[in-house]
Amino acid sequence: MQEQIQKLSEEIDKVVADTRDSLESYRLKFISKKGVISQLFDEFRGLSGEEKKKVGKALNELKQAAEERFKSLQDTLESKKGQGDIDIDLTLPPVEEQIGNLHPLNLTRYKIIQIFERLGFNVSDGPEIEDDWHNFSALNFPENHPAREMQDTFFIEKNPDMLLRTHTSNVQIRLMGKQKPPIRSIMPGRVYRNEAISARAHCFFHQVEGLYVDRNVSFADLKQTLYHFAKEMYGKDIQIRFRPSFFPFTEPSAEIDISCLICYGDGCTVCKHSGWVEIAGSGMVHPNVLKNCGIDPEEYTGFAFGMGIERVTQLRYRVNDLRLYSENDIRFLKQFKSVI
Ligand code: DAH
């Protein structure tokens, strides 16, 4: 029996159990009531007193070693759980896939495009790094206009004629330069201004430019188009007003306000307690601008507008801080699961 004990003790030392099944086999073979050690105890009972003395201690030690080994194999298996492929519980619910969503500014941009496309406008694009002619001169900005000065415009150091466009109106010039009327186009894009970053201003933001040039285009067309836009974007109860204004590239010019959707006229910081929020500049394309693009102002007229996408989005979703749009904070972004 001594020999058997020795052999089993060596076997126990060498045993590996890296799955639940192999651990169970080990338990059945060494620990269970029908296992080999139990059998040895049965045999032990039939031995003479002399022989019992010889093997009793070793047999007890074997039993103890087998149990300790079982415990340590069990612990090792337990600690590996979750690290690998052991014990996959197929009944657990799956981890939900995180599907991204469109940025709120894109949601608004697509919505604006959708509205104007239905009115027969197409979508055009132009460069963000622009020259002075397309951003200012062709748009009838006088040589000494304050918008050209350093505090507003990011100029490109290597070439003083180049700058980051301050508005999307540059695309009007590019479009009229290569396409003759009728032109009916909207031009979304990013623009840059040298401003300190705050809740209300940022060094870059987004605009959508609109341009309609044809025979007999009138201010009434401009008003009706933008009125239609506001109703489509915000619902039929929205109010819109045109305020006389000035832009070098339009004559006459108007600022477009809509009723404040943050406070509904009660007064808040977004509408500066006026009940109205400015969403766009607009006007009839200045004859000089048409001439600069080779279009005869005697034959054609046109209207144009430039809308702030951040502003339109702010009123749509009640976002109160401009910085949220570019901070990439997932807690903000994941709230916009809506469709266009
Ligand atoms: N470019 C102007 C701005 O950035 C907005 C604007 C006003 C665009 C009148 C237009 C327009 O096309 O007709 O402030």
Q: CB of 206 within 8 A of CB of 160?
A: no
**DSSP 3-state of 188:** strand
Backbone angles phi and psi of 283, in degrees to 5: 160, 180
pLDDT of residue 340: 61
Percent of the chain with pLDDT over 90: 70
For residue range 46-74, list pLDDT tens digits in order.
888 888 888 899 999 999 999 999 999 88
Taking the C-alpha atoms of residue 111 and residue 208, their distance in angstroms, rounded to an integer, is: 12
Ligand 1, atom 4, lies closest to the CA of 167
Give 148 Cα–ligand 1 centroid separation in angstroms: 15
DSSP 307-336: EEHHHHHHHHHT---GGGGGS--HHHHTT-
Is the minimum distance from the CB of 189 to ligand 1 under 6 angstroms? no
Neighbour tally for 115: CB within 10 Å: 18
For residue 166, give the ligand 1 atom closest to its CA: 4
For residue range 220-250, list pLDDT tens digits in order.
999 999 999 999 999 999 999 999 999 999 9
Is the minimum distance from the CB of 306 to ligand 1 under 6 angstroms? yes
> Residue holding tokens 């062709």?
138
**DSSP 3-state of 245:** strand
Q: Which range (39-43, 63-67, 146-150) has the least confidence?
A: 146-150
For residue range 154-189, list pLDDT tens digits in order.
999 999 899 999 999 999 999 999 999 999 999 999
Indicate if the pLDDT at residue 147 is higher than 80.
no
Is the minimum distance from the CB of 165 to ligand 1 under 6 angstroms? no
Backbone angles phi and psi of 93, in degrees to 5: -65, 150
